[in-house]
Structure 1
Amino acid sequence: MQNLPFFEMFKALIIGIVEGITEWLPVSSTGHMLIVDAFLPMNMSAEFKSLFFIVIQLAAVCAVIILFWNRMFPFGFEKSAESGLSGASNGLPKIVVHKDIFSLWFKTVAACIPGAVAVFAADDFIEEHLYGPAVISFALIFYGIVFIVIENINKKRDARINDVRDIDYKTALIIGLFQVLSIIPGTSRSGATIIGALLIGVSRTAAAEFTFFLAVPVMIGSSLLKLLKYEGSLGGAESAVLAVGCITAFIVSLAAVKFLMSYIKKHDFKLFGFYRIAFGAAVLLLLGFIR
Structure 2
Amino acid sequence: MNDSAWFLLQALFLGLVEGFTEFIPVSSTAHLLLVGDWIGFSSGNDKVFEVVIQLGSILAVMWVFRARILQMLGGFFAGDPQERRFVWNLAIAFMPAAVIGALGIRYVKALFHHPGVFAITLALGGLIMLWVERKPRYAKRPDDPSETEVSQHASAHTLEQISWKQALAVGCAQVLAMVPGTSRSGATIIGGMLAGIDRRTATEFSFFLAMPTMLAASVYDLYRHGAALDESQMLAIVVGFVAAFLSALVLVRAVLAFVARRTYRPFAWYRIGLAVVVACWVLL
In which range does the TM-score fall when normalised by the shorter chain?
0.7 to 0.9
Of residues 260, 264, 275, the one that matches 1:265 is 260
Residue aligning to 2:192: 197
Q: Does residue 151 of structure 1 match 2:133? A: yes
Residue aligning to 2:205: 210
What displacement does 1:173 show? 0.8
What displacement does 1:42 show? 1.9
Please tell me whether the aligned partners of residues 38 and 133 of structure 1 are also in contact (alpha carbons under 8 angstroms). no
Residue aligning to 1:80: none
Deviations 1:191-242 (Å, cap 9, x if unpaired)?
1111111112111110000001111110111111111111544443122211
Residue aligning to 2:221: 226
Q: Does residue 178 of structure 1 match 2:184? A: no
Equivalent positions of 1:127-138 (< 5 A) are 127-129=109-111, 131-138=113-120
Count of matched residue positions in the alignment of Structure 1 and Structure 2: 268
Equivalent positions of 1:75-94 (< 5 A) are 75=73
TM-score when scaled to structure 1?
Answer: 0.86
Mark the runs of 5 or more structure 1 residues left unpaired by the alignment.
78-94
Q: Does residue 105 of structure 1 match 2:48? A: no
Residue aligning to 1:69: 66
Please tell me whether the aligned partners of residues 111 and 179 of structure 2 are also in contact (alpha carbons under 8 angstroms). no
Residues of 1 paired with 2:245 and 2:81: CA distance? 29
Using a 3 Å threshold, how does the CA distance of structure 1 residues 106 and 248 change in structure 2: closer, same or farther?
same
Deviations 1:142-189 (Å, cap 9, x if unpaired)?
010000110001346353211111111111011111111111100011
Percent of aligned pairs with the same amino acid: 31
Mark the runs of 5 or more structure 2 residues left unpaired by the alignment.
137-148
Q: SS at the partner of 2:196?
A: coil
Q: How large is the Cα RMSD of the aligned pairs?
A: 2.1
Please tell me whether the aligned partners of residues 111 and 117 of structure 2 are also in contact (alpha carbons under 8 angstroms). no
Please tell me whether the aligned partners of residues 160 and 202 of structure 1 are also in contact (alpha carbons under 8 angstroms). yes
Residue aligning to 2:278: 283
Please tell me whether the aligned partners of residues 171 and 188 of structure 2 are also in contact (alpha carbons under 8 angstroms). yes
Q: Structure 1 residues 66-75 or 260-269, which shifts more?
A: 66-75
Please tell me whether the aligned partners of residues 8 and 241 of structure 1 are also in contact (alpha carbons under 8 angstroms). yes
Residue aligning to 1:82: none
Residues of 1 paired with 2:273 and 2:266: CA distance? 11
Equivalent positions of 1:33-48 (< 5 A) are 33-47=32-46
Residue aligning to 2:141: none
Q: SS at the partner of 1:206?
A: helix
Q: Does residue 59 of structure 1 match 2:56? A: yes
Please tell me whether the aligned partners of residues 56 and 242 of structure 1 are also in contact (alpha carbons under 8 angstroms). yes
Larger Rg: 1
